[in-house]
């Protein structure tokens, strides 16, 4: 089931859509890649690797199916997330913190500390790898939260590693170029909650402002549409269609750096649905906290000089402290060697 999802508008006059009207943006044409071929013959693998490489080079975004995370695991995680956000505010606020280095944080706004009162998204973020180390800090309520979110996190990490292998292979660096450095790597789970507004406003309402992810790769499980990506071809926002059972994959800033700019991190934002609460679970994978990501030597030559300075996850946190909401997404720009 590979191939583009065709362009169409939703929310126009008289259009019937299976989804609520969330935005007037055009729907993005993004590849939906069947990744089961990565585990089949060398020929089938190379076709899928090529497809993934093309998607990373064009938009920095694609969706995957046949990723091996079962429906029950995905639904279990979404249900646990929903039950968490239904808890009384004071229970959730126990996890609130202005300290970006806190391994479990509840809050609102884009990244941290910033209070966005009108159009907002709530989040809980927690470290997830190694799971045994962090899971005891995760919310104890709802009672099945740790189990359900833990299952999803472990499996999402596996999918992430499998995709990173394919991605470095597509860059000609071989499949273990990055993953061999990832045994002690970071995984952050960001669970986003976009409540349905009391008073709907016409058009799209942004819950999570434009940014690119500070990760190598981000894998997102949404319960409904609302993710928009910036199409680099015409610099317009495009709504990502939700494909049953698929996971959404974002190229993060660190892959852009590693690839020396061959792949670009995708700028994206979260839209509030007018008549439905939206939840998404994002798994962000990075190198270890203090490990610097540099452009691959193999991708630097006279015609392609080194385009980025090295940086670590910690450097990103430092950057966030000093920058305003909405500017966080330009961290990768700050790394560019002009
Ligand atoms: C994020 C994010 C998108 C979404 O958590 O970084 O971009 O679909 N989420 O909610
Ligand atoms: Ni994001």
Centre of ligand 2 from the C-alpha of residue 15, in Å: 29
CA dist., res. 25 & res. 241, Å (int): 11
CA dist., res. 213 & res. 266, Å (int): 8
CA dist., res. 124 & res. 332, Å (int): 24
> Is domain 2-335 classified as CATH 2.60.120.330?
yes
Q: Is 197 exposed, middle or buried (0-12, 13-18, 19+ CB in 10 A)?
A: middle
Ligand 1 atom with the smallest distance to the CA of 269 is 7
- Specify the DSSP class assigned to residue 308: B
Centre of ligand 1 from the C-alpha of residue 150, in Å: 19
163 lines ligand 1 (CB under 6 A): no
Ion ligand 2: residues, Cβ under 5 Å = 213
Decide: helix, strand or coil at residue 32: strand
One pLDDT digit (tens) per residue for the chain, 338 residues: 344 433 333 333 333 333 333 456 899 999 999 999 999 999 999 999 999 999 999 999 999 999 999 999 999 999 999 999 999 999 999 999 888 889 999 987 644 444 444 557 899 999 999 999 999 999 999 999 999 999 999 999 999 999 999 999 999 999 999 999 998 899 999 999 999 887 766 667 888 888 999 999 999 999 999 999 999 988 899 999 999 999 999 999 999 999 999 999 999 999 988 888 999 999 999 999 999 999 999 999 999 999 999 999 999 888 887 775 455 457 899 999 98
pLDDT score at 321:
78
Crossing angle, helix 145-170 and helix 71-85, to 10 degrees?
Answer: 120
Centre of ligand 2 from the C-alpha of residue 233, in Å: 20
Ligand at shortest distance from the CA of 271: 1
Please tell me whether the overall predicted TM-score, pTM, comes out greater than 0.85 for this model.
yes
Tens of pLDDT, residues 135-190: 999 999 999 999 999 999 999 999 999 999 999 999 999 999 999 999 889 999 99
CA dist., res. 38 & res. 59, Å (int): 21
**Which residue is listed with tokens 């065709």?**
6
Number of H-type helices and E-type strands within the chain: 8, 13
Ligand at shortest distance from the CA of 124: 1
168 lines ligand 1 (CB under 6 A): no
- With the CA atoms of 128, 109, 209 and 281 taken in that order, what torsion angle do they form, in degrees rounded to the nearest 10? 30
Tens of pLDDT, residues 221-259: 999 999 999 999 888 999 999 999 999 999 999 999 999
213 lines ligand 1 (CB under 6 A): yes
Centre of ligand 1 from the C-alpha of residue 301, in Å: 35
């Amino acid at each position: 089931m590979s191939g583009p999802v065709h362009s169409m508008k939703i929310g126009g006059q008289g259009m019937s859509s299976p989804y609520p009207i969330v935005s007037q943006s055009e729907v993005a044409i993004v590849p939906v890649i069947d990744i089961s071929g990565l585990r089949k013959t060398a020929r089938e693998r190379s076709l899928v690797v090529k497809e993934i490489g093309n998607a990373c080079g064009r938009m920095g975004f694609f969706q995957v199916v046949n990723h091996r995370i079962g429906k029950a695991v995905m639904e279990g995680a979404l249900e646990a997330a929903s039950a968490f956000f239904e808890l009384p505010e004071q229970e959730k606020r126990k996890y609130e913190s202005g300290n970006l280095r806190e391994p479990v944080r509840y809050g609102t706004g884009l990244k941290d500390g910033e209070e966005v009162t009108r159009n907002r998204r709530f989040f809980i973020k927690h470290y997830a790898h190694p799971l045994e180390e962090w899971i005891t800090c995760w919310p104890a309520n709802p009672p099945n939260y740790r189990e359900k979110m833990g299952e999803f996190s472990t499996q999402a990490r596996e999918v992430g590693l499998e995709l990173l292998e394919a991605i470095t292979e597509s860059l000609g660096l071989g499949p273990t170029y990055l993953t061999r450095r990832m045994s002690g790597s970071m995984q952050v789970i960001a669970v986003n909650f976009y409540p349905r507004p009391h008073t709907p406003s016409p058009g799209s309402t942004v819950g999570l402002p434009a940014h690119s992810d500070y990760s190598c790769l981000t894998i997102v499980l949404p319960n409904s549409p609302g993710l928009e990506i910036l199409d680099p071809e015409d610099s317009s926002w495009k709504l990502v269609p939700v494909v049953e059972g698929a996971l959404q994959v974002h190229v993060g800033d660190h892959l852009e750096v590693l690839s020396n700019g061959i792949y670009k991190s995708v700028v994206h934002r979260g839209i509030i649905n007018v008549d439905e609460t939206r939840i998404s679970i994002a798994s962000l994978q990075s190198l270890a906290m203090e490990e610097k990501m540099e452009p691959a030597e193999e991708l630097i030559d006279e015609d392609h000089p080194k385009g980025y300075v090295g940086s670590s996850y910690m450097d990103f946190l430092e950057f966030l402290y000093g920058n305003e909401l909405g500017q966080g997404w330009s961290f990768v720009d700050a790394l560019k060697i002009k």
